[in-house]
């Protein structure tokens, strides 16, 4: 998994029928110092995340292992909202 920050949404009316009702979130990738890396992913949301939330996301076939994404043409999913992380005992992020 990688760390990311939810920064936006994508609206798509015309989509594969299996994706009806899906909400697509734009996630900027973070490094472990809580800095943006420049990478991003558009992910399905299995945890009701909101704009500004820091999350963990999984990609590839693992992204289809939630009830929401099972057998869907979806290769990225938010599977956790991060409360905090620390590196070598130093807190790098704490949810307010």
Which residues of this chain interact with a second copy, rule CB under 8 A? 1-3, 7-19, 24, 26, 28, 31-32, 40-43, 46-48, 51, 56, 58-67, 69, 71-77, 79-88, 92
Assess contact for 42 and 25: CB atoms under 8 A.
Answer: yes
Q: Which two tokens stand for residue 51?
A: 């704009």
Least separation in angstroms between residue 6's CB and a second copy is: 10
Phi and psi at 64, nearest 5°, equal -100, 10
Q: How far, in Å, CA of 84 to CA of 57, rounded?
A: 15
CA contacts within 13 A on the Cβ side of 72: 26
**Shortest distance, CB of residue 96 to a second copy, whole angstroms?**
14
Q: Least distance in Å: CB of 72 to a second copy?
A: 6
């Amino acid at each position: 998994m990688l760390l990311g920050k939810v920064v936006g949404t994508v609206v798509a009316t015309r989509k594969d029928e299996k994706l009806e009702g899906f909400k697509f979130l734009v996630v900027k990738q973070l490094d472990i110092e809580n800095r943006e890396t420049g990478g991003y992913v558009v992910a399905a949301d299995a945890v009701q995340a909101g704009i500004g939330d820091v999350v963990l996301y999984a990609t590839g076939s693992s992204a289809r292992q939630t009830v929401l994404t099972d057998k869907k043409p979806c290769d990225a999913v938010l599977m956790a909202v991060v409360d905090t992380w620390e590196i070598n005992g130093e807190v790098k992020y704490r949810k307010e």
